[in-house]
Every structure is written in structure tokens, then in C-alpha cells.
């Protein structure tokens, strides 16, 4: 499943779009959604509503990074790796306009840095 909530400026747009749907039924299954980062909470709220209509036996959410200060929608997250401050982070799969995704660590992006 693929979802996107980011606009052209690499900031959340406030609109969650489904970019790819599930290829199989989750009805009656235990489901864990693994996300890289949660900030506003809108994506996880959307996923929870969308997936609940598909009648899984259980539905849990796991995130690597939780940006609590940016939360606009309260959502329950079952497993959290790390809470982080409200700074733009890159690395370990997180990118900025396609750059820095391959860093081996999560790092705060220097606002003056340009690719």
C-alpha cells in the first residue's frame, strides 16, 4: 500500500492520497502498518479509517520516528522507535527532494544545505 501526504516543498500538504492499494484482502487478518515518520497524524488517521473498513482482525501501527510537536490529529501509535523534535530529518530512507535517502543515520537537515 502506498500513501502520500507531502506537497512539492517536502512539507505535509494536509491532503492524504492513496498512491497504491493493497493487492490482497486483509479481512480477518492481524495487520501491522510500518511507517517511517509520523508528524501531523493525518496519514495514520486516514490509514486507520481506510483499513478498518476492510475488517482486519487487528490493526496496529509502528513508526520509527514520532514528531509529537507537529501533531494536528490525535492518533494511537502502538510501537514507536524514537520521539524527535520538530526538525526536518533525512537519511535511513528519508529524503529531501530525492537526496540524502542513502545516509546510514538519521540526521537533521541543515536548512542552508543544497543538494
Residues annotated as catalytic are: 39
- Whether the Cβ atoms of residue 30 and residue 11 lie closer than 8 Å to each other: no
For 90, counting Cβ atoms within 10 Å of its Cβ (0-12 exposed, 13-18 middle, 19+ buried), the class is buried
Spatial distance between the Cα atoms of 66 and 35, rounded to a whole number of angstroms:
10
Spatial distance between the Cα atoms of 47 and 40, rounded to a whole number of angstroms:
13
- SS3 category, 52: helix
Amino acid at each position: 500500500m502506498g500513501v502520500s501526504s507531502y506537497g512539492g516543498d517536502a512539507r505535509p500538504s494536509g491532503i492524504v492520497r492513496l498512491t497504491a492499494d493493497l493487492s490482497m484482502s486483509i479481512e480477518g487478518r492481524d495487520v501491522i502498518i510500518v511507517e517511517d515518520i509520523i508528524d501531523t497524524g493525518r496519514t495514520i488517521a486516514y490509514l486507520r479509517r481506510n483499513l478498518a473498513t476492510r475488517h482486519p482482525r487487528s490493526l496496529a501501527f509502528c513508526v520509527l520516528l514520532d514528531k509529537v510537536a507537529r501533531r494536528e490529529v490525535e492518533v494511537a501509535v502502538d510501537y514507536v522507535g524514537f520521539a524527535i523534535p520538530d526538525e526536518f530529518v533525512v537519511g535511513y530512507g528519508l529524503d529531501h527532494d530525492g537526496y540524502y535517502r542513502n545516509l546510514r543515520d538519521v540526521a537533521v537537515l541543515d536548512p542552508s544545505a543544497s543538494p
